[in-house]
Amino acid sequence: MKAIAFAIRSFGRELRSGEVLVLLTAVALAVSALTAVGFLTDRIGKAVARQANEVLAADLRLRSQEPVPQEWRDLALKYDLETAETMSFPSVVFNGDDSALATIKVVSDSYPLRGQVRVSDQLFAEQRVADGIPLPGEVWADGALLARVGADVGDMLAIGEFTARVSAVLTYRPDQSIGFSSFAPSLMMNIDDVSRSALIGEGSRVRYALLIAGNDEDVADFNDAVQDKLPGSIRVRSQEESSERAYNAADKAQRFLSLTAVISLLLSAVAVAMSARRFAHRRMDTVALMKSLGATQGFVISVALLQLFILGVLGVVAGSVVGFVAEELLSRILIDLMQQGELPASGWTPVFLASSSAMVLLIGFALPSLIQLRNTPPLRVLRHDAMPPPPSRVLVAGISLLAVAALLYRSVGDLAMLLYLVGGIVVIAALLYLVGRIMVALIGRARSGVGVAWRYGLANVARRGRDSAVQVVAFGLGITVLLLLTLVRTDLLEGWRETLDDNAPNHFLINIQPQEIEAVGALFDENSIERPVFTPMVRARMMSINDVAIQDRVYPNNEGKRFANREANLSWTIPLAASNEVIDGEWWPADYAGPPLISIEEDAALNTGVTIGDRIKFVIAAREVEAEIASVRKVNWDSFQPNFFIVLSPGALDDMPATYISSMRIATDDQPFLINLVRAHPSISVINIGVILEQVRGIIDKASLAVQAVFMFTLAAGIAVLFAAVQSTIDERRFESAMLRALGAKRRTVFAGVMAEFAALGTAAGVLASAGASVLAYLVATRLFDLPYEFSPLLWFAGVSAGVFIVCISGYFAARSAVNSNPTNVLRESGT
C-alpha cells in the first residue's frame, strides 16, 4: 500500500512538473492514431466490402436446384437478417411472330438487398436507378432482348402463358453475370407472376436462391449455423466467391487501408521507444535519492511498475477518446464524399489493438530500463556520471516488436505485408545505424576548417557518437515512412487507377460465329466505330494430366480440383496479349508449327499443381487434344479484355467448333448501333459491363479517400517520432548551452551550432530515407499490389530536402527552450 500511495503522489508531482509529459504524449498519440486508423479502416473496409457484395445482390446467397426450404428463411429472421428470393431459368420470349431465348429473372419485393437495379425508359438511353421491382403484369427486359424481337418500352411480350407489358429497359442488376456463359439476355419479372406464366413445371431447370443481408456478425453467425445443416443440393456463396474483378478491387482497397494501419503502428513504436528511453533516464536521480534514504529494491521496482501502469492507462484513455472523436469527424465527412447514407458500425477490435499495442510497446521499451533502476547506485545523488548497468535492449525490444507484429497479424491478417514492412523497417534501421556511426567517425575528423557554429554542431554529432547514430535511425525511419505515405502513396493510387483507364472496354460481344466475323466488322466500319479484335473460344473438358485422370489426381487445394473438373474455355493466339506477361517458360514464335503447346495462367497452374513440361489432355466435341505446358502467364484481369486461363499455340485447335468473342468501348452516342447489330445478328449476345467498371472505379475512389484521411494520423505519428528523437537529448543540450553561454558564447552562436548539428543529421537521414522508401515502395507496389512502379528522382530530392527541413524545424521547436534557458538556473539544477 505504501508503494501505491507513494507512486500516485510522486507521479502527480512529476506530471505537474512536466517530467513524464513527453512519454504520456507519445503513448496517447500512438493510441489515438491507431484507434482512429483502426476505426476508420474497419468501417470503410466494411463499406468497401459491402459494395463488393453488390455482385451477389446480398451478403450471402443460398442457391439450389430446388425451392429453398422455409426453415432457412425462418432461421435468417432469428438472426435479424433481411431476405429476398430469386428464381432464374431460360425461356423463349415472343413479340408477335418474333422470338428469342432469354434468361428469366424472377425476384421478390425486397430484391436487391445490396446494390441497385438500373433501368432506362428507352433502348440504350440514359439509365436511372430503379424504384423497387417490376409491378405485377409488367416486366423489365434487356435492351438486346427487345432488339432481337423488335419490341420497345410499352409493347406486350408473351412469356409462356403470361403476357406482360415492358415498362422499362433493364440495363443492370447487381447479380448479373458478366462471364462468357451468359449467352441469353435477361428479363426481370415479379415473383407474383410466376404461377400465371405456367413456366415452371415438373422437370423444369430452375435455379432458386435465397439472398441474405444484414450486420456482418449476424451474417457470419448465420453462415456458421447453417453449414452443418445444409443439404448437398444447396450451395452457399459469399463475397469471396463472387465477381473476381470486384472482389480483387475490394481486397486491394483493404490492403491499402491495412498498409496505413501497419505504418502507423511502426511509427508509434519508434516514438514510444525514443520517449521511454528518456523517461527511464530521468528517473535515475529520483531512484538514487530514494535509495539513499533507505528505500529497498523491491519498493523501487513496485513504484516504477505502478507509475508505468498509470502512465499507460492515462495514455490509452486519452488516446482512445481523441482517436474516437477524430474518427467520428472524419466519418461524417467521408459519408458525404462516399455518397453513402451511413458507414457500417465498427467493433471494439481497433480499441483493443491500439491499447494492447501501446502497452506492449511501453512495457517492452520502458520496463527494462525501469527494472534496471533498482541497480542505480545511491552515489548518483552526488555524482551524476554514476550509472546502472544497461539492460539488453536489443533482446527486449525484439520481443516487444514480435508481440506487436503478432497483434498486427491478428488484426490485419496479411503476413506478406507484415514481413515486407517490418522486415524492411528493421533492415533500414540497421543500415541507418551503421551509416550513422560511420558518419560520426568521419565528422569527428573533418570538422576543422569550418565556421564556429558548424564546428560546434559537428562536434556535437561526433561527441555524442551512439546517441547521434540513434537519432539518425529515428529521423531516417520517420522520413522513410513519411515519404512512403506521401509521394509513394500517390504513385500507388495513381498506378491503381491507371489499370482502369478511360478507354477500358465497356461491352462484350459473345457467341459470334466464324462466318459472321466479316459482316460484324463491316457494321463497325459503316458506323465509323473502331473494329474490335475477335478472339476465338472453344469449349472443352480436361481428361487427364500426365496420363492421370483428373478424377484420380491429387490437387493442392479444392480450387484446383474444381478448375480441373469444370468446363473450360480455350483459345489460341500467335502474339502475346498486352494484358498478359510470361513469368515462366517461353512463348511460342510467330511461325510456330510444331506439336500443340499450352500457356497457363499462374494461379491455375498453382492450384492444379502443374508446371512446365506437364501434359494436359482435353476432349472437345468427342475429339481429344493433348498439349504440353510451355509457359506460365500472369494475367491482368482488371483490363476487361478477353483473357483465358489456358491458351494454346496456333493450329492446335484447327477444325474444332469455335465461336468468337470481343470487347470494345462504345460511346454513349453510339449505343443505338448495338440495336442494329443485334437485329442483324440475333445469335450474338451483347453484355454491358459499364456498370461493373463504375463499381470497380468506385471502390478505388473510396479507398483513395480513406487513405488520404488516414494519412493525417500517420503524418502526426511521424512528426512525433522526429520530436521524440530531438527530445531524447534535450537535457544534454540544455546543459551544454548553459555552459557555453556561461563561458561567453552568444545565444545566436549556440543556436546556430544546434541547427548545424540537425542539418548534418537531417542530410544523412534524408539520403538513407530516400533509398529506403524507394526500395520499400518497389516491394509494396510489385509484391503486395501487383502494380508497376518506377523509381523517381523526385523522391530523392524530396527525401533529402525533407530530411534537412523537417529535422531542422523539429529541432528548432524542441531545442529552442534548451538554448533559451537561463544558464544560472540550469547549472544550479545540475549541481555544477
The predicted pLDDT at position 744 comes to: 65
Residue 318 pLDDT: 84
**Which residues, other chains included, contact 314 with Cβ-Cβ below 8 Å and sequence gap of 6+?**
24, 27, 28
Please name which of 187, 98, 281 lies closest in space to residue 728, comparing C-alpha atoms: 281
Torsion sign across C-alpha atoms 309, 311, 312, 314:
positive
Which residue in 157, 153, 146, 183 sits closest to 168, CA to CA? Answer: 153
Query: Where are any strands of DSSP class E within 112-176?
Result: 118-120, 127-129, 138-142, 156-159, 162-172
pLDDT at 143 over 60: yes
Q: Which amino acid is at 533?
A: V
Lowest-pLDDT range, 312-326, 531-545, 738-752, 765-779? Answer: 738-752
- 485 close to 772: Cβ distance less than 8 angstroms: no
H/E stretch holding 634: strand 623-635
Selection from 815, 830, 708 nearest residue 751 by Cα: 815
* Whether residue 210 has pLDDT greater than 70: yes
pLDDT of residue 805: 83
Residues 26 and 204 sit within 8 Å (Cβ to Cβ): no
- Per the model's pLDDT, the better-predicted residue between 27 and 88 turns out to be 88
d(CA 360, CA 226): 39
What are 72's three cell numbers? 432457412
- pLDDT tens, residue by residue, 594-648: 899 999 999 899 999 999 999 999 999 888 999 999 999 998 776 777 889 999 9
Average pLDDT, the chain: 76
Lowest mean pLDDT among 409-418, 466-475, 794-803: 409-418
Pairing of strands 98-107, 127-129: unpaired
User: How far apart, in Å, are the Cα atoms of 220 and each of 200, 212, 215, 227, 247?
Assistant: 33, 11, 9, 11, 18
pLDDT of residue 242: 45
Query: In the prediction, which pLDDT does 601 show?
Result: 93
Q: Which of 496, 2, 527 is nearest to 255 (CA)?
A: 496
Cell numbers 550509472 label which residue? 387
C-alpha cell at 242: 463472387
Task: Please report which confidence band the pLDDT of residue 233 belongs to, taking 50, 70 and 90 as the band edges.
Answer: low
pLDDT digits (tens, 9 = 90+) for 87-130: 988 888 899 888 888 888 999 988 988 888 889 888 767 788 88
- At 623, which helix (H) or strand (E)? strand 623-635
Q: Which of 11-25, 277-291, 373-387, 629-643 has the lowest mean pLDDT?
A: 373-387
Enter the pTM of the model.
Answer: 0.59
Residue 4 C-alpha cell reads as 501505491
Q: Residue by residue, what is the 3-state secondary structure of 420-448?
A: HHHHHHHHHHHHHHHHHHHHHHHHHHHCC
Contacts of 423 (CB under 8 A, 6+ apart): none
Residue found under cell 469449349:
539
In the chain, the largest separation of any two C-alpha atoms, in whole Å, equals 109
pLDDT range class, residue 309, cuts 50, 70, 90:
confident
CB 133 within 8 A of CB 201: no
Integer Cα distance of 12 and 16 in angstroms: 6
Residue 438 neighbours by CB distance under 10 Å: 12
Residue whose C-alpha cell reads 427486359 in the numeric block: 141
* Residue indicated by cell numbers 549556440: 750
Band the pLDDT of 181: cuts 50, 70, 90.
Answer: very low
Q: Which residue has the cell 432469354?
A: 102
CB 184 within 8 A of CB 135: no
Where does residue 294 rank: exposed (0-12), middle (13-18), buried (19+ CB within 10 A)?
exposed
What does the pLDDT read at residue 465? 64
**pLDDT for 544:** 93
The set of long-range contacts for 428-434, using a CB threshold of 8 Å and a minimum separation of 24, is 428/476, 428/477, 428/480, 428/768, 428/772, 428/776, 429/473, 429/476, 429/477, 431/768, 431/772, 432/469, 432/472, 432/473, 432/476, 432/477, 432/765, 432/768, 432/772, 433/469, 433/470, 433/472, 433/473
Is the confidence at residue 265, as pLDDT, over 50?
yes
Segment 326-385, tens digit of pLDDT: 777 766 655 654 445 555 666 677 777 777 777 777 777 666 666 666 667 666 555 555
Q: What's the chain's Rg over C-alpha atoms?
A: 34
Task: Please give the pLDDT value at position 633.
Answer: 94
Place of cell 479507398: 703
pLDDT for res 679: 77
Confidence (pLDDT) at 411:
58
Residue 181 CB partners (closer than 8 Å, separation 6+): none
Residues 216-226 have a mean pLDDT of 82
DSSP-derived pairing of the beta strands 234-238 and 162-172: unpaired
Residue 551 has pLDDT above 80, yes or no: yes
Q: What is the mean pLDDT of residues 387-392?
A: 59
- C-alpha dist (Å) from residue 635 to 562, 580, 648: 20, 5, 15
Q: Locate the DSSP E strands across 26-115.
A: 60-64, 82-95, 98-107
Q: How far apart are CA 572 and CA 577, in angstroms?
A: 11
**CA separation for the pair 191, 470 (Å, rounded):** 71
Coil vs helix vs strand at 169: strand
d(Cα 756, Cα 393) in Å, to the nearest integer? Answer: 30
Look at the block and give the residue holding cell 486461363: 645
Whether the link from the prior residue into 536 is cis, omega within 30° of 0, is no
Percentage, residues of the chain above pLDDT 90: 12
Angle at which helices 415-446 and 466-483 cross, to 10°: 130
In degrees, to the nearest 5, what angle opens at C-alpha 13 toward C-alphas 12 and 17?
115
User: CA neighbours within 13 Å on the CB side: how many for 375?
Assistant: 9
Q: Which of 23, 11, 15, 4 minimizes the C-alpha distance to 312?
A: 23
| pLDDT tens, residue by residue, 418-445 | 777 777 777 877 887 787 777 767 765 6
Least confident range from 60-74, 314-328, 801-815: namely: 801-815
Cell of 691: 456498370
pLDDT of residue 135: 92
453, pLDDT greater than 50: yes
What integer pLDDT is reported at residue 825 of this predicted model?
A: 60
Angle ∠(583,587,589) on CA atoms, nearest 5: 160
Least confident of 96-105, 205-214, 398-407, 779-788: 398-407
Q: How far apart are CA 592 and CA 650, in angstroms?
A: 7
Helix 244-282 and helix 690-727, axial crossing angle in degrees, nearest 10: 10
Looking up cell 491429387 gives 554
d(CA 152, CA 145): 10
44: Cβ contacts below 8 Å, ≥ 6 apart: 257, 334, 338, 343, 702, 703, 706
pLDDT exceeds cutoff 60 at 734: yes
The reported pLDDT for the residue numbered 156 is 93
**35-77 pLDDT, tens digit each:** 776 776 667 666 666 666 666 778 888 888 788 888 888 888 8
CA distances from 79 to 57, 73, 398 (A): 19, 10, 44
pLDDT at 572 over 70: yes
Distance CA 88, CA 103 (A): 7
Name, of 353-367, 520-534, 798-812, the range with top average pLDDT. 520-534
Residue 724 pLDDT greater than 70, yes or no: no
Q: Count CB-CB contacts under 10 A for residue 179.
A: 12
What's the grid cell of residue 337?
464524399
* Residue 600 confidence (pLDDT): 95
- CA dist 206 and 444 (Å) reads 83
Pairing of strands 127-129, 138-142: unpaired
Distance between CA atoms of residues 252 and 317, nearest Å: 33
What percent of the chain has pLDDT above 70? Answer: 65
Phi first, then psi, for residue 57 (nearest 5°) are 65, 15
- Which residues, listed in sequence order, are joined to residue 585 by a DSSP beta bridge? 631
pLDDT of residue 173: 84
Rounded to an integer, the average pLDDT of 463-475 is 71
**Count of beta carbons in the 10 Å neighbourhood of residue 796:** 18
Upper half-sphere CA count for residue 263 (Cβ side, 13 Å): 32
Quickly state the pLDDT bin for 241 (edges 50, 70, 90).
very low
